[in-house]
Amino acid sequence: MLHACTKDRLIDWCRQALRFVLPVECLSCGTELGADPAPCFCSICWQSIRPLQQPACAICDQPFVSPAATTFTPNHHCHHCQERPPAFQRAWTLFPYLPPLKDAICSFKYRGTYTLAKPLARLMIDALPSEIDIDMIIPVPLHPTRLREREFNQSLLLADQLGRHLARPVSATSLVRISAADPQTTLTRQARLKNLKKSFAVRRPQDLTGKRILLVDDVFTTGTTLRECAKTLRQAGSGPVFALTLARTIETDLVPDRILAEQTTQTSNKR
């Protein structure tokens, strides 16, 4: 059996050789790829993916418009969490859902570029909050119909890499999706909530009793999916539930100026 490092080197070598024969362009800026470390993206675009660092809700990580929100109350909660405290104890969302990360996630998820699973999981691992202390990892499940269409669950591929890094088991069968919800991206928060009610179920609840669980998903949009998953797990007797997502959709006025400026430069370079 090949050692993991040797295997990675071999895959990397094959990718470089393929690029020599069939030059590939960066999905974000169109530059021809050379010896770039991540598949489908040039080093400059990949390195421009920076974590969210502004003050955020102490429960759901929703960034605040003003840093003043946490000046005197460091554990300030956003109005959504105050009105309806979520079943998860803490959600961490690591990067803004903006190009080039957005391009990478879309390609990974909708065009089946699963070679991006490792580099995307590496981004998560490098930005992992130090306070994460859990017993097991559960990816947000896809409904079997959606799974058949897509052929893989992107959250499971990310969770698998995280599980290896954190040396914790990953269960892809404990939490299941029992109703095929409409695609969530086009719905309002209220419609999403209604759509997701009783969409999830726990199999073998005895395996989760008292366990600290980390839910993993690729994108945090309104948080309703994670809220429903966490509620289902807690009702089945799990211990505290935490959530980790690679990226988060945020209002443009909450995106730090530095990141917007970099995006504008990249877009103008493309023209």
Binding-site ranges for Zn ion (CB under 5 A): 26, 28-29, 31, 42, 45, 57, 59-60, 62, 78, 81
In whole angstroms, the minimum distance from the beta carbon of 173 to Zn ion comes to 30
Q: Which is nearer to Zn ion, 85 or 144 (CB)?
A: 85
Amino acid at site 2: L
Say which residue the tokens 């935490």 belong to. Answer: 242
* CA–CA separation, 12 and 6 (whole Å): 10
Q: Which is nearer to Zn ion, 40 or 140 (CB)?
A: 40
Residues 25-50 as b or e (16 or more Cβ within 10 Å = b): ebbbbebebeebebbbbbebbbebbe
* CA–CA separation, 78 and 223 (whole Å): 13
In whole angstroms, the minimum distance from the beta carbon of 266 to Zn ion comes to 7
Q: Which is nearer to Zn ion, 131 or 149 (CB)?
A: 131
In whole angstroms, the minimum distance from the beta carbon of 99 to Zn ion comes to 10
* CA–CA separation, 252 and 98 (whole Å): 10
In whole angstroms, the minimum distance from the beta carbon of 77 to Zn ion comes to 5
Q: Which is nearer to Zn ion, 31 or 249 (CB)?
A: 31
Indicate the pairing of strand 200-202 with strand 90-96. Answer: unpaired
